[in-house]
Amino acid sequence: MTTNARDNRLRPWLRFKFAQLATLLGRDDEAIAILAEVAAESPGHVGAWRHLGFLHAKHGRDAAAAEALQRALALDPGDDGTRFNLGFILHRLKRVDDAIAEYERVVQTSPKNDRAWYGLGLCLCEKGEWERAVAPLKEAATQQYFNPHAGYQLCLAFHRLGRHDELRAEYERVKSFEPKFAAQIRHDTGIAD
């Protein structure tokens, strides 16, 4: 291997590491510029695309984040962490059906990803698909017992479906560890304490 060939492979790696360091130092704009260069020079550098997606999302540039994360997934389709992040960004972009598709793929291959279950349930609630939302919200609440957000959304789904006994049971579960959320459930569903 010639020195020039080695330098051509080493340069993107070094630039990527420098971008990671810039991020750690809070110099996100500099990191984004470096990562864009790395991605242009080495379009197969999955780490550059992932990191670009993270930084764009951090700064509210959701369309750019989604594009970068999609590029990363094209290179590494089995990366459920990136797929979850893409689902989250698509949800923020109000592309709910696309977010549902990403979350469903995550929970199929990583069934212990409670955040993907919650995101899936939340998206289904937004679509008014309350019956379909129950199972993913139950799974999220089971996996993260002390997550009051999943419990709250599950209570809303039960309320919409008229499943009062299940609403009561979930309300009592949430009340046992998070009284503020329980108060919000009482307010939003009219359940008596």
Give the DSSP H/E element, type plus range, for residue 193. Answer: none
The DSSP secondary-structure symbol of 190 reads -
Evaluate if residue 182 carries a pLDDT over 90: yes
Give the Å distances, CA to CA, from 88 to 13, 51, 85, 167, 174: 28, 15, 5, 27, 25
- How many other C-beta atoms lie within 10 A of the C-beta of residue 57? 20
**Among all chains, which residue has been given the structure tokens 């990562």?**
35
Give me the mean pLDDT over the 138-152 stretch.
97
Report the first-to-last Cα separation within the chain, whole angstroms: 74
Average pLDDT, the chain: 95
**pLDDT confidence of residue 10:** 85
State how far the Cα of 193 lies from the Cα of 171, in Å rounded to an integer. 9
The DSSP secondary-structure symbol of 44 reads T
Evaluate if residue 181 carries a pLDDT over 60: yes
pLDDT category, 30, cuts 50, 70, 90? Answer: very high
pLDDT category, 6, cuts 50, 70, 90? Answer: low
